[in-house]
Amino acid sequence: MRVGLIAMSGVRVRDKELAALGVTLPQFVNRGKVIATLPSLGLLTVAALTPDDVEVAYREIDELPPEGELEPFDLVGISSFTAMIEDAYLLADRYRAAGIPVVLGGLHVSLMPDEAATHADAIVVNGAEGAWPGLIEDFRAGRLRPRYDGLRAGVFEPGHYAKPRFDLLRDRPYNRITVQTSRGCPHDCEFCAASLRITSSYQQKPVDLVIEEIRTALEVKQNIFFELADDNTFVNRKWSKAFLKAVRPLGISWFTETDVSVAEDEELLDLLAESGCKQILIGLESPNANSLNGVDPRHWKRRHFDGYLGAIERIQSRGVTVNGCFVVGLDGDTETIFEKLRDFVVESKLLEVQVTVPTPFPGTPLYRRLRAEGRLLQERFWDRCTLFDVNFQPKHMSVGELEAGLRWLFSEIYTDRELARRRRHYMEIVKSKAGPKEMVAMQ
C-alpha cells in the first residue's frame, strides 16, 4: 500500500498593486517566502502515525506532475491552509475522478468540515493524533468513514504522540525545519486561525521529546535553522527555562512566536539569547491602545500595551530580534493609524516588522461577528485569506482607504533607508554585546 501526502502551503497576494509593491520590498516578502518554503510538519506527523508496512511519499504541491498526470497512490492525504484550499479541492477532485480516494485535513478542513467533505472520501478534523491510525486501518478493511475526529487534548501523551518523520526531508532543499513544542495559546485573539482552534486547552510537549526531535532533525540536516511551529511558546515559565537550558548545548539557531510577557523575566531573556534564539515574533497588533480593546476576551494585550516599548528594548538588547506583528483596520482604527504605526516602528527600533489587515478566516470568532454584522464583502473568499487582502468593511474607514493606507505604510517602513537603519541598529547591539573574539566564538 502506498500513501501520498501532499502539502499545499504559502499565500498569493490577490491585490495586484500590493503584490507588485511587495516584489520591491524585501522584508515584506521575506517572511512570506520563508513560510511558503517550510515543510508541512502536520504531514510529517501524519507520516509518523502511519503503520510501518505502508509506504509513505511526501510531496510538495510544486513537485507534482503537470496538469493531466497524477502520481499513482492507493490513498492520498492533502493538507492545506485557507488561502490555498480551493486549489486543494481541485486536486482532490482530480484524484477522486481518477478513482484514487482522498483524505483532507488541516486547519481549514477542521473549521469548515462540511464544505471539505464534499471534496473528499474522508476528512480529518483537529490533529491527526487519535484519528489517522484508525483511518488507515479502516481503509485497509474497505470501511473508510467520511469523518475522523482527532484529539483536541493529550496529543503529546504516550500512545498518541508520534515523532515527525524528518527523514522524509532528506535530500530536499529546505533551509528550515519546523518543530512544534506546543499547540494553542491562552489569549484566544478574535482573529486567530491557528492551532488554538483545534485544541481544547494549551498543549505542551515534554522537553525531552522536543530535544529528541531536534536531534533527529539534525541527523537529517546539519546546520539547519529551526522554526518552532508554535503560536505561543513561552506560556509556562518553568517549562520554558527547562527547554532553553536543554536546547543551549545543541548549538542551533532558531525562531519562534510568543507574547510580550517574556520581557518581564530577565532570566528567561538571558537563556533565550544563550540558547541560539535569533528572533521571536510577537503579535503586538496595534500602536494604538484603544484599538486593542476586544482583540482578546480578557483584554490581555490591551493591559500589556504600556509595556510594549520597554519590552522590545529589553528583548533586542540581548541580540534576539523582535519581529513585531501589527494589524491595521481594527475596529478602533481610524485613518490616522497608518502614520501612528510608522512612527511606532521607528521609535521602537523593531528589527523586523510585519503588517497585515484583519482577516476573517472562516470558523473564527472574527468571521462570525463580521458576518453577523453584515460586514463581509463576499460570502466565500478563501483564496483572498492572504492577510493582505481586505475582505470586510472596516468600521471607521472605507475599504479603499484601508488598502491605500496599507500600501502607503509599506512604502514607508520597507524602504532601503529604513531597512538599512534596522540593520545598523542590530549590528550595534551585536557589537555592544561581546568582543570580536567572543562574537566569532558565538558561532
Partner 1 sequence: MTAQERIAEASIRMTVAQFIGQDLGQVSETADFSEDLGMDSLDRLELMAAVEKEYDVTLSDQELSSVSNMRELIRALAAAPAGRPQ
Contact residues for partner 1, defined by CB under 8 A: 30, 175, 223, 225, 253, 278-279, 321, 416, 419-420, 423-424, 426-428, 430-431, 435-436, 439-443
Nearest-approach distance from CB 11 to partner 1, in angstroms: 21
Give the integer Cα–Cα distance in Å for 55 and 49: 12
Residue that is written with C-alpha cell 486501518 in the block: 137
Nearer to partner 1, 99 or 435 (CB): 435
Nearest-approach distance from CB 183 to partner 1, in angstroms: 26
Nearer to partner 1, 65 or 173 (CB): 173
Nearer to partner 1, 163 or 424 (CB): 424
Nearer to partner 1, 30 or 201 (CB): 30
Positive or negative torsion for Cα 150, 151, 155, 160 = negative
C-alpha to C-alpha distances, 289 to 285, 305, 365, nearest whole angstrom: 10, 6, 21
Nearer to partner 1, 1 or 218 (CB): 218
Nearer to partner 1, 107 or 353 (CB): 353
Nearest-approach distance from CB 23 to partner 1, in angstroms: 17
Nearest-approach distance from CB 351 to partner 1, in angstroms: 8
Nearer to partner 1, 257 or 333 (CB): 257
As given in the structure block, the three cell numbers for residue 328 are 491595521
Nearest-approach distance from CB 385 to partner 1, in angstroms: 27
Nearer to partner 1, 189 or 353 (CB): 353
For the chain, give the secondary structure using H, E and C. CEEEEEEECCCCCCCHHHHHHHHCCHHHHHHHHHHHCCCCHHHHHHHHCCCCCCEEEEEEHHHCCCCCCCCCCCEEEEEECHHHHHHHHHHHHHHHHCCCCEEEECHHHHHCHHHHHCCCCEEEECCCCCCHHHHHHHHHCCCCCCEEECCCCCCCCCCCCCCCCHHHHCCCCCCEEEECCEECCCCCCCCCCCHHHHCCCCEECCHHHHHHHHHHHHHHCCCCEEEECCCCCCCCHHHHHHHHHHHHHHCCCEEEEECHHHHHCHHHHHHHHHCCEEEEEEEEECCCHHHHCCCCCCCHHHHHHHHHHHHHHHHHCCCCEEEEEEECCCCCCCCCHHHHHHHHHHHHCCCEEEEECCCCCCCCHHHHHHHHCCCECCCCCHHHCCCCCCCECCCCCCHHHHHHHHHHHHHHHCCHHHHHHHHHHHHHHHHHHCCHHHHHHHC
Nearest-approach distance from CB 436 to partner 1, in angstroms: 4
Nearest-approach distance from CB 303 to partner 1, in angstroms: 31
Nearest-approach distance from CB 352 to partner 1, in angstroms: 9
Q: How many CB atoms lie within 10 A of CB 140?
A: 15
Nearer to partner 1, 20 or 427 (CB): 427
Nearest-approach distance from CB 180 to partner 1, in angstroms: 21
Nearer to partner 1, 393 or 415 (CB): 415
Nearest-approach distance from CB 247 to partner 1, in angstroms: 18
Nearer to partner 1, 253 or 393 (CB): 253
Nearest-approach distance from CB 50 to partner 1, in angstroms: 31
C-alpha to C-alpha distances, 255 to 87, 182, 224, 225, 350, nearest whole angstrom: 29, 14, 12, 8, 16
Give the integer Cα–Cα distance in Å for 427 and 416: 16
